[in-house]
Amino acid sequence: MKLKNFLNKKITITQIKSGLKLNDRQQGNLVGLGLRGIGSSSELVATQAVLGMITKVSHILKIHNS
């Protein structure tokens, strides 16, 4: 799935794996996305900054259209 297709649209992201073993920068991206733990969700507008953060931690996220 290409993230460019979501640009300027509202998306919902859900954390599906633990962020404990991530490095500090990746954990900071999770906090910036508003995710606090497994199963937490956040609804955001897909700007380039948000899509960049999602790309860095995409292996523990699930992305949905809103």
Q: To which CATH superfamily is domain 4-65 assigned?
A: Ribosomal protein L30/L7 (3.30.1390.20)
CA-nearest of 10, 64, 16, 11 to 40 is: 16
For residue 3, pLDDT over 90 is answered with no
Q: Where are the domains of the chain?
A: 4-65
Contacts for 12 with CB less than 8 Å, ≥ 6 apart: 41, 42, 43, 44, 63, 64, 65, 66
Using one digit for the tens of pLDDT, what is the confidence trace for 26-45?
999 999 999 999 999 999 99
pLDDT band at 1 (very low <50, low <70, confident <90, very high): low
pTM for the complete prediction?
0.90
